[in-house]
Every structure is written in structure tokens, then in C-alpha cells.
């Protein structure tokens, strides 16, 4: 790893850290160390990182703002690439915008609303990156990324880059083609609509207020843990099964919204996994429903 770190530093691709605790880089504040964490300064730097990593035959993992991640207590093997400041560009062409994968989704929705551009109101409270939102087709309040994406610029595992149309992204509920064909969302081109600024702002504020009143963002969390097994809702199933407020170690099924697991102390990833297993077993026993996680679990 020392030689790989040396190569990455010499390539001047951005910040390179060794044994970096990933708890610092996830909204759950949980996660062991990355062998190497790289924060590229640009798309070209990212391509260089991938090239060096592949030449050394080392595993790599990409993360964004860490809002939908549960990282193992044992950390992540190889190189973790964090998309952030180097991939947070924004270009506007009337109602069409081109935005970097590392751009904050909340920030983007706020900026566009102030300009009277509609389409991102649903995203006003989703604390992730644009790249992560495209990757998992993030959504809320009856809309999602598939409704506004024109195309996405993807860096695939083999080092190739390609623009995929919205249809080619194969979006469905909280999924895209990138779950079966792994890649990094470098950029997204979004199609918005001109609208009434006051009306857009009012909708966004209503969505923010709803999240504040119903979701436990006063504690570290990762967002919704389970997918809704429609027509049922995960939170309602968990609450009706008597698990709301259940605590294991430093992790708790939120007593505000049962589809959230919060870090109320020095929670470990294993505490969260144990709660997830408890929910799955209980819902299966009581309702004969197989619960699927929305949170992405990565690491050793």
C-alpha cells in the first residue's frame, strides 16, 4: 500500500489519506478505516486514480456524501474514492443543467428554486450527492431522479466512460442499472422547467417542514433503511410490529420514524446490522413480508 500511496501522491490527483476513518465521511458517523482514501480534484484526476489502482490490481470503492451508507466496522479494503469538491461543477443552459456527481442535492435544489426552476422540489431534504441520487434513483414526495434526468456520465469499473440516457439507466424504485453494472456517476444532465418562484419555494418549504416534523435528523442517521414493500410502508410495518424505539448497543430504531435507525451513542455497524436482522425476522414472522434494505452496506 505504501508504494500505491506514493504513486497516487506523485500523480497529484488530490488529497490522499491512509487508514482514514470512514465514520468521518458518513452521515451515520459509523465506519472503520479505508486503507486509502482519495478525494480527486477533477474528472481527469479521477480517471488517473482508476488507472493507477487498476495497474496495481487493487480493489476500489466510490462514495459520495455518505448519506445512504453503512460501512463495516472493519473498514473498506483497497482504495476508497470520495466524490466531492473536485466533481461539484454546475453549468446552466436555460432549463437544462449539467452538474457534477459530487454536488450537494440539497444545495442544487435550493439554487434552482431561487431561479424559478421546477423539478427538484422533491430533493430539498435529501442529504446526498447528485451522483448518489442518480445511482439509487433517489426520490420523495411522489417524484424521483428518473423524472428529470436526461443523461448521466458514467465511469465504469473497467475504466471506460460513457453517457447513458435516462432509458439506458434502467431506473426503477430506488435502483438503476448501476446496481448490476457498477460505475461512478461523474455528471448528470437534468431537464427542469420554468415555473413560479414563489410556488416552487412554498412546495420546497412544505417538504422540508414535513421531513423536520417526521424524520430524526437530530441524530446521525443514513436516511430510510428499508425499501417500502408497496402497497405497504416500511415505517408502518416496523411500528405496528412493536419495534419502534428498539435499541441495540448505540443504535436505535427511531422513536420518531420507524424506518430510520439512528446513532444515539457510539454505535457500531454491527449494532445497526443486528437491528436490521431483527426487523427482517419480525416482519417476516408477523406479516410474511420480506423486507429489503435501501441503505447500501459496504466494507469488509
Cα distance between residue 18 and residue 215, in whole Å: 35
Exposed e or buried b per residue across 194-204, where buried means at least 16 C-beta atoms within 10 angstroms of its C-beta: ebeeeebbebb
CA dist., res. 154 & res. 215, Å (int): 32
Rounded Cα distance, 33 and 192, in Å: 39
Burial class (CB in 10 A: 0-12, 13-18, 19+), 225: buried
* 61-86 as b/e: b if 16+ CB within 10 A: bbbbbbbbbbbbbebbbbbbbbbbeb
- CB-based contact 130:87 (threshold 8 Å): no
Which of left, alpha, beta for 42 (phi over 0: left; psi -120 to 50: alpha)? Answer: beta
CB burial class (10 A; 0-12, 13-18, 19+) of residue 30? buried
Q: Give catalytic residues, as residue numbers.
A: 174, 224, 294
Amino acid at each position: 500500500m505504501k508504494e500505491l500511496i506514493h504513486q497516487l501522491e506523485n500523480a497529484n490527483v488530490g488529497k490522499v489519506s491512509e487508514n482514514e476513518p470512514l465514520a468521518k465521511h458518513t452521515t451515520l458517523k459509523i465506519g472503520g478505516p479505508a486503507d486509502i482514501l482519495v478525494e480527486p480534484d477533477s474528472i481527469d484526476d479521477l480517471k488517473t486514480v482508476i488507472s493507477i489502482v487498476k495497474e496495481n490490481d487493487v480493489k476500489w470503492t466510490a462514495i459520495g456524501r455518505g448519506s445512504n451508507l453503512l460501512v463495516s466496522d472493519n473498514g473498506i479494503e483497497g482504495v476508497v474514492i470520495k466524490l466531492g469538491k473536485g466533481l461539484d461543477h454546475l453549468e446552466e443552459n436555460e432549463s437544462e443543467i449539467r452538474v457534477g456527481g459530487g454536488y450537494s442535492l440539497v444545495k442544487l435544489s435550493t439554487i434552482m428554486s431561487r431561479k424559478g426552476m421546477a423539478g427538484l422540489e422533491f430533493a430539498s431534504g435529501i442529504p446526498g450527492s447528485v451522483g448518489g441520487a442518480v445511482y439509487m434513483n433517489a426520490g420523495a414526495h411522489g417524484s424521483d431522479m428518473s423524472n428529470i434526468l436526461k443523461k448521466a456520465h458514467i465511469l465504469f469499473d473497467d475504466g471506460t466512460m460513457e453517457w447513458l440516457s435516462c432509458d439506458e439507466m434502467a431506473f426503477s424504485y430506488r435502483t438503476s442499472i448501476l446496481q448490476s453494472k457498477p460505475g461512478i456517476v461523474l455528471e448528470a444532465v437534468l431537464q427542469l422547467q420554468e415555473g413560479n418562484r414563489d410556488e416552487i419555494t412554498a412546495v420546497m418549504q412544505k417538504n422540508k417542514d414535513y421531513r423536520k416534523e417526521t424524520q430524526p435528523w437530530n441524530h446521525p442517521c443514513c436516511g430510510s433503511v428499508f425499501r417500502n414493500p408497496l402497497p405497504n410502508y416500511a415505517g408502518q410495518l416496523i411500528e405496528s410490529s412493536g419495534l419502534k424505539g428498539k435499541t441495540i448497543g448505540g443504535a436505535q430504531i427511531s422513536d420518531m420514524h420507524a424506518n430510520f435507525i439512528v446513532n444515539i451513542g457510539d454505535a457500531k455497524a454491527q449494532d445497526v446490522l443486528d437491528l436490521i436482522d431483527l426487523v427482517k425476522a419480525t416482519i417476516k414472522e408477523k406479516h410474511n413480508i420480506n423486507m429489503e434494505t435501501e441503505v447500501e452496506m459496504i466494507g469488509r
